[in-house]
């Protein structure tokens, strides 16, 4: 004996095969062809220089570590966080504890160096960066600070 269900399947398939196929517009996206293509910069037109042209957009790769360290030492902690998003080299440089120690000691200078060091060792596993990110502080950059416990 055949069931009603098995008899309906071929009829449904016939109806589906008779439907017109949908026509789609083919869109050309030329920028997709540029993925993975690395273009080397060339010297400006008319330049007699035989040296390769250095793209000024890649200047951050040419900076020596000492100069980069001095620049970062003068940044605010919020700008250090933004600089860490530029490239891997900057992210690893910004993770240097010296920057975060200076930020913490400046933000909580009223407690003194010794008291801050005790808090660092007891609550933040010796990480100045962790202390900066986790410990509540008064923001002085014009933004409103809301405690995360409210």
CA distance 115 to 138: 18
Neighbours of 129 (CB within 10 A): 19
pLDDT, tens only, 3-25:
555 555 556 556 555 555 556 66
Residue 28: pLDDT band by 50, 70, 90 thresholds?
confident
pLDDT, tens only, 48-95:
666 665 656 666 677 788 888 898 989 888 898 898 898 888 888 888
| Predicted pLDDT at 143 | 58
More confident residue, 105 or 46: 105
């Amino acid at each position: 004996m055949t069931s009603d269900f098995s008899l309906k399947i071929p009829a449904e398939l016939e109806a589906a095969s008779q439907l017109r196929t949908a026509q789609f517009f083919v869109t050309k996206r030329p920028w997709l062809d540029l993925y993975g293509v690395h273009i080397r910069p060339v010297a400006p037109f008319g330049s007699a220089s035989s040296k390769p042209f250095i793209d000024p957009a890649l200047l951050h790769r040419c900076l020596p570590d000492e100069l980069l360290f001095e620049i970062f030492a003068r940044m605010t902690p919020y700008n250090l966080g933004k600089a860490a998003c530029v490239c891997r080299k900057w992210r690893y440089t910004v993770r240097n504890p010296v920057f975060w120690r200076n930020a913490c000691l400046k933000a909580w200078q009223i407690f003194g160096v010794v008291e801050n060091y005790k808090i660092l060792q007891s609550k933040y596993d010796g990480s100045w960066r962790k202390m900066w990110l986790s410990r509540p502080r008064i923001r002085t950059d014009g933004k409103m600070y809301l405690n995360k416990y409210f």
